[in-house]
Amino acid sequence: MVDSATSFRRPASVSFDHLETFHGGLKLTGHRELTAARPILPAGVPPLLTIPLQQHIGTAAECLVQPGDAVYKGQLIARQVGKISAAVHASSSGTVIAVEERPVPHPSGLRAPCIVLETDGLDRYRDTRPAALDYTRMPADELCDHIRGAGIVGLGGAGFPTHVKLGCSTDGIEMLLINAVECEPYIACDNRLMQERAAEVIEGVRVLQHAVRPQNCIIAIEDGMPEAETALRTVLAANNETGITITRVPEIYPSGGERQLIKILTGREVPSQGFPADIGIICQNVGTAAAVYNAVIRQQPLLSRIVTVTGEGVLRPQNFETLVGTPVSHLIACAGGYTQDVERLLIGGPMMGYAVSDDHIPVTKTMNCILAVTRKEMPAPPPAQPCIRCGKCTEVCPAELLPQQLYWYAHSNNLDAAQDYSLFDCIECGCCAYVCPSHIPLVQYYRHAKAEIWAREKRTLASDLARQRHEARLSRLDRIKQEREARMARKKQALTGDDGSSELKKATIQAALERVKRKKELAATAPKNVDNLTAEQQQLIAAADKRRQQKNKDNSTG
Amino acid sequence: MEFKTYSSPHLPASDSVPAMMQRVLLALLPGTAYICCIFGWGSLINILLASLSALAAEAIVLMLRKRPVTTLLDGSALLTGVLLALALPPLVPWWIPVIGSLFAIVIAKQLYGGLGYNPFNPAMAGYVVLLISFPLELSLWPVPGAGLSLSDTLVHVFGAGLSADQTLDTLTMATPMDDIKMRLGLSQTLSEMRDSSLFGSFAGAQWEWINLWFMIGGLWLLQMRVIQWQIPAGMLGGLALIAFVFYAINPDIYTSPLFQLFSGAAMLGAFFIATDPVSACTTPRGRLYYGMGIGLLTYLIRTWGGYPEGIAFAVLLMNMAAPTIDHYTRPRVFGHK
């Protein structure tokens, strides 16, 4: 039987009366018990840290160090480039040994520029930590700048630079929404974070409140996290904090998706291709709030995050406080290593995460979960059968798409029709593929179609540019030709002359000659500036006149 | 260590086509069992013949098309055979279900590309071919409870004729719907027919129970979420609505909505035939319209058409309209105005 959310029965004791629902979704079994009840352990300082320059949405950071440079913990080693970008810091002290392309966490096994750091094991800052900022006295933009300097990005998974979200919140933000809905099975890092560091989370939320100044602030927490909820509520009660509300939302995947969560809480829909800020909402992950706390109160940039290492493929599933750049293999070792029958290694959750072929990749700011699974846990997908248009996918799609039609068009490479059926509103949550009785890897088709369309647009752009260049060149050549022709015509005209104007020319020349003649006569007969002259000057003039007359006489005779 | 990489989502799928088909077959059981009870061995033989020939035809075409024959195991061919057999009268020569199945599988399904690509409901396409080609054979329904023995039935089905004391005339009768139409043609009113054995407790004699059992199976399918409510609700709603309008105008010549809903193949059609997802509409709203279209057309054909039962034609006609309906009933996408 399909375990669809539309058949989801809410427990009678819990009231969600004031909440809305989103279309579709799935009720998935948690598997969080593997790690949710165990404390967060430090993963330690590995001998090598590989820190990618791009760990966020936007432009990659620009490297500021060279091989051989010694760096201390928290040092800025790559700076933000452009608006949508984030700074990167050394997560521990040591020596830069390389700045080169290394495999990074990516579904395709991509290699990307990384700073490779050999740690010295001292994990040392440059100097003593500065005192906590009194953020309550800081203007919002200064606070936002400080958060930007800490290189904080959304820790929920997408990695959108936090300062960009905060920056667009100059005014009119109605709600600051803290997302503590960890809706994918297996993942428990936010759950543990709230249980163990509730005070830090709440303080971080207060900082965000100060930066955004929203009318209200809600922490949305999942129904299945009573311990975390209690911890947060205890802190709120202890501080008499009334500006922050905690709301429990039903455990339906993907209720932790930003758009779905906003729909649940407000009934409003974020416009397609738009942002929550468009409807006056700013959404931040609960882990991001804790990172903001670290940046502002501890004055420490984003150097580490909590990673859930779980699945039946590791011996001791656990949440680890992990330095950014730590190899996944190191974390696996921390979790006791692989079991005998491990078969798949996933980065992220089992619904939206991606499989990687080996564990020699670093932990990034956005990596919330490492999931090693066995064949028994997640058997290889059976071969796909033809779509029978049963419509189960439509029933569960939270974006209210028609996945079967999208598949049809993506499959037949009819990309225009796929776009017409709102392909780009697909959030790739995987609900459709999960319920598909024909086992069609639907999400893969959608991703492929999206990539094709992007490639096509790039090509169109390139060809547009080429056409523009070509047209510009043609018009330039044309202009040059016309100019040359005009010049030639003028020259020709000058050479051949024009009979109509010869009389005029003669008259002009005549006039000029006469003017010269008159001037000469005048010069010969009437000397100028001859008033009030001294006797000496008179003599000089007389001598000059004499010489001129002599000269004229010589000229006329010679 | 080299790990296997598959595309997300990684959780194992929650359902499969064979499992869905199995559930549909299971849901057919109560109605099928009841039909076999009242009409005897004939229905069972029909089911066997139709499903075996459907499976054989599917296997042969798959081989010819160089497709894996294991595709057979998806259960769709079996279901087509069973649905076709359930639509046939119990006492037909053996070649009737065989021809119907062959047409349904080879022409209506595989020639279009097999499961998932057929524009028409294969079982209904096969049935309509039989109805048009062999109207006589398809109109003979046995007297309920006539109880022909297995050997007699086999002898009849495989063409050796009936034993001397049994003729087709004594064994068969018109279905209530058929009979009413005929009598209405003779200017009888429904109230005049009221006392005849045509009517059962609330609809046609015996047929009301057949329909009830199919409805129970169908409701179970709904509950198991194998089918969605739109098509059955649309079809039964559409049928009841138009029947009510005419019944309200003149109850003497138009049968009641209840009679319409529990006669002929109404419940089988609403829950098992019209819901064939491949040839039906796929948008939620479209499915509602699609079902309503089938309901309305069924009534029109039943009441004024040349055939006693209109569901097969109604389904095929709406199959043609399905892509257009889908086009105009696209749901609003999240975040769009």
Residue B145 pLDDT: 67
Residues A11, A73 share a domain: no
Q: Is there a domain that residue A432 lies in?
A: yes
> Which domain-ending residue is among A474, A491, A508?
A491
CB A330 within 8 A of CB A43: yes
Average pLDDT over residues A256-266: 92
- Which residues of chain A does B74 touch, with a Cβ-Cβ cutoff of 8 Å? 385
Q: How far apart are CA A484 and CA A492, in angstroms?
A: 12
- For the cut 70, the answer to whether the pLDDT of residue A499 exceeds it is no
Cβ–Cβ below 8 Å for A436 and B284 = no
Q: What is the DSSP letter of A497?
A: -
* Contact A404/B at CB under 8 A: yes
Instruction: Tell me if chain B has a CB within 8 Å of the CB of A142.
Output: no
pLDDT at A2: 41
pTM: 0.84
Tell me whether A421 touches chain B (CB under 8 Å): yes
Q: Domain ends where: A431, A461, A491?
A: A491
pLDDT tens, residue by residue, A310-356: 999 999 999 999 999 999 999 999 999 999 999 999 999 999 999 99
Residues 98-137 of chain A whose Cβ lies under 8 A from any Cβ of chain B? 107
Q: Does A35 reside within a domain?
A: no
Chain A residue nearest residue B227, CA to CA: A390
Residue A62 identity (one-letter amino acid): E
The answer, for A376 touching chain B at a CB cutoff of 8 Å, is no
The answer to whether B8 contacts A443, with C-beta atoms less than 8 Å apart, is yes
Give the residue from A395, A396, A393 showing the smallest Cα distance to A410. Answer: A393
Given CB atoms, is A1 within the 8 Å cutoff of chain B?
yes
A373-430 pLDDT tens trace: 999 999 998 999 999 999 999 999 999 999 999 999 999 999 999 999 999 999 999 9
| The pLDDT of residue A62 is above 70 | yes
CB contact under 8 A, A354 and B8: yes
- Do A106 and A86 lie in one domain? The reply is yes
* pLDDT in the model for residue A1: 37
Judgement on whether residues A238 and A123 belong to the same structural domain of the protein? no
A259 domain residue, yes or no = yes
φ/ψ of residue B300, rounded to 5: -60, -45
Write the pLDDT tens digit of every residue in A87-120: 999 999 999 999 999 999 998 888 999 999 999 9
Is A412 in the B-facing interface, judged by CB distances under 8 Å?
A: no
**What ipTM goes with this model?**
0.90
| Shared domain check, A148 and A205 | yes
pLDDT category at A5 given cuts 50, 70, 90 is very low
Q: What is the helix (H) or strand (E) element at residue B288, kind and residue range?
A: helix B284-304
- Domain shared by A211 and A148, yes or no: yes
Structure tokens, B7: 């595309």
Q: How far is B75 from chain A (nearest CA, A)?
A: 12
CB contact under 8 A, B116 and A346: no
Residue-range definition of the domain harbouring residue A183: 1-30+133-299
Kindly identify which residue of chain A lies nearest to residue B286, measuring between CA atoms: A391
The reply to whether A69 and A203 lie within a common domain is: no
B24 CA: distance to closest CA in chain A (Å): 13
Q: State residue A12's pLDDT score.
A: 35
The rounded mean pLDDT for chain A is 88
pLDDT at A15 over 50: no
Asked whether the bond before A441 is cis by omega within 30 degrees of 0, the reply is no
% chain A with pLDDT above 90:
65
| Domain membership flag for residue A503 | no
Beta carbons of A60 and A53 less than 8 angstroms apart? yes
Task: Examine the pLDDT at A10 and tell me if it is beyond 70.
Answer: no
pLDDT confidence of residue A7: 36
Domain extents for chain B?
Answer: 17-173, 175-326
User: Is the CB of residue A62 less than 8 Å from the CB of residue A81?
Assistant: yes
- Inspect the interface and report whether the beta carbons of B8 and A353 lie closer than 8 Å: yes
Q: Which helix (H) or strand (E) holds A411?
A: helix A403-411
Nearest-CB residue to A435 (from B4, B14, B17): B14
Of A271, A386, A425, the CB nearest to B115: A386
Closest Cβ opposite residue B7 in set A273, A405, A441: A441
What average pLDDT score do residues A517-536 get? 74
Give residues 235 to 294 of A whose Cβ lies within 8 Å of B: 259, 263, 269-274
Residue A338: helix, strand or coil by DSSP? strand
Look at residue A168 in the predicted model and tell me its pLDDT.
Answer: 60
A222 and A289 fall within a common domain:
yes
Shortest Cα distance from A343 to chain B (angstroms)?
A: 6
Number of structural domains found in chain A: 3
The pLDDT of residue B167 is 61
Q: Do A402 and B331 count as a contact with CB atoms less than 8 A apart?
A: yes
| CA proximity to B87, closest of B331, B308, B236 | B308
- Among A265, A299, A333, the domain boundary falls at A299
Q: From A523, A515, A520, A517, select the one nearest A544 (Cα to Cα).
A: A523
pLDDT in tens, chain B (337 residues): 788 888 889 998 889 999 999 999 999 999 999 998 888 888 899 999 999 999 999 999 999 999 998 888 899 999 999 999 999 988 888 999 999 999 999 999 999 999 999 999 999 999 999 999 998 888 878 777 666 777 777 777 777 555 545 566 666 677 777 778 878 877 787 777 776 777 777 777 788 999 999 999 999 999 999 999 999 999 999 999 999 999 999 988 898 999 999 988 999 999 999 999 999 999 999 999 999 999 999 999 999 888 878 899 999 999 999 999 999 999 999 999 7
Q: How many CB atoms lie within 10 A of CB A337?
A: 14
Of A212 and A498, the one with more pLDDT: A212
